[in-house]
Structures are given as structure tokens and as C-alpha cells.
Amino acid sequence: VRLPSYTELNYDSPGSLGNAGLELQHNRNWELGIRKQSGKAPDWQVVLFRRRSDNTVDWTKPTAGSRWLATNLGKVVTDGVEISSTWQAAENLSIGTAYTYLHKRNDSDLYASRYVLDYPQHTLRLTADWQITERCALRTTHELRQQTRNRVRSSGRHGIGSSVEIAYRPARLPQAELLVGCENLWNDYFQLYPGQQATGRRLWTAMRWWW
């Protein structure tokens, strides 16, 4: 059971309007999968799943000029499959791949949905974890997606997500890890949220500390 958030119940701004009359959202999930694990060959798994939600809460636009309104969509049925594999290509290199397909059904007649009915139909992901030296590692993720059609999104349906980070553990500070990375490596313009301008390439740095 999902209780609507304070924002969904009470928010009021020029672009969005909450709804104090929202009902509780109820979810039911089914999942069936098979997994193969081996010492040398790539590990893989296939998962089929279905999710049914009633009184589904979402932000929607009934017309092109309206605000985003917090709404109970009614019943939403999500069917999907995920296929993934992990390959230990070398002692210090692990490579992973995954593909996910989603399909949602709902009877609402809306101009646009912001979250629930705006989803990636197809997602292909590639990850790699390379332990360059004992103290230095490189991790990267690349994702290709095809989103459902949304009349509010102006960037098109296809997006490329990518990130890379380098982690270093100093010899004199074994409990610390220094990181530097880049998000949106290819400077893709895909709008993750419909109508919201995509952020460009971003560089970041951080430090982790274990105790």
C-alpha cells in the first residue's frame, strides 16, 4: 500500500497542483525467473514480472495548457522482462549487460503523464568494472533507452545515459577512497522528465571513508 505524499496531497504552484482527495494506492507484484551461475562461463538470468496497481497516483496533464495535477489513474498493469548477464572477462575485469522491456496498460484519456505512464519501453545497459591496479579502479555504465511517446517531451524518445568514475585508495589512508567521475559523458540532450531541460555533461569529485 502506498500513501500519497504531502506534495501530492497539498502542493500548489504555477506549474503543479496537489489533490487532497487522493486515495491509497494498492500494488500487487508477481515475478518468475531463472538464473544460471558458473565459475567460468558468464552468469545470466531471465526474469518475467507483472505489477498491478489500483488508484495509481501520478502527475498528469488533462490538456496541453493545464498544470500538472496529482491524479488517481485507476488500474495500471505493467508487464516486463529483464535479461541480464555478468562476465568475468579477466581476473581484474567484470563486464555486465542487461536488457529490459516494459509495457503498461491503463484506460485513462490524458494529454500527458509525468511519471507512471512515461517510462522506458526498451532499455539496454552495459557496465564494466576494471581494477586497474591494487589501489585504482575504473567503473563505467552506458545505457540506451527508448521512451514511450509523451507530447510534453521535446527532446525525442531516445536517450543515451553514460557515466564513468575512477576510484583511488591512498596507501597511507587505507580507510579512504578518492573518486572523480563524469555523468552524461556524451552530453545527451534527452529529457529524463518530460518538459524539463536536460542537464549537460557534469564532472564531480567525492571521498568515501570507512570506519
- Strand pairing report for 136-147 and 202-209: unpaired
pLDDT digits (tens, 9 = 90+) for 143-181: 999 999 999 999 999 999 999 999 999 998 889 999 999
pLDDT digits (tens, 9 = 90+) for 59-69: 999 999 999 99
- Identify the weakest region by mean pLDDT among 29-43, 83-97, 150-164: 29-43
DSSP state of 8: H
Mean pLDDT along residues 58-83? 96
At 38 the pLDDT is 76
Q: Is the predicted pLDDT of residue 39 greater than 80, yes or no?
A: no
Sign of the alpha-carbon dihedral angle for 55, 56, 58, 63: negative
At 174 the pLDDT is 85
Question: 80 falls in which pLDDT band (50, 70, 90)?
Answer: very high
Query: Average per-residue pLDDT in the chain?
Result: 95
- Strand pairing report for 93-105 and 57-61: unpaired
Residue type, 112: A
Helix (H) or strand (E) segment spanning residue 97: strand 93-105
Q: Is the predicted pLDDT of residue 189 greater than 90, yes or no?
A: yes
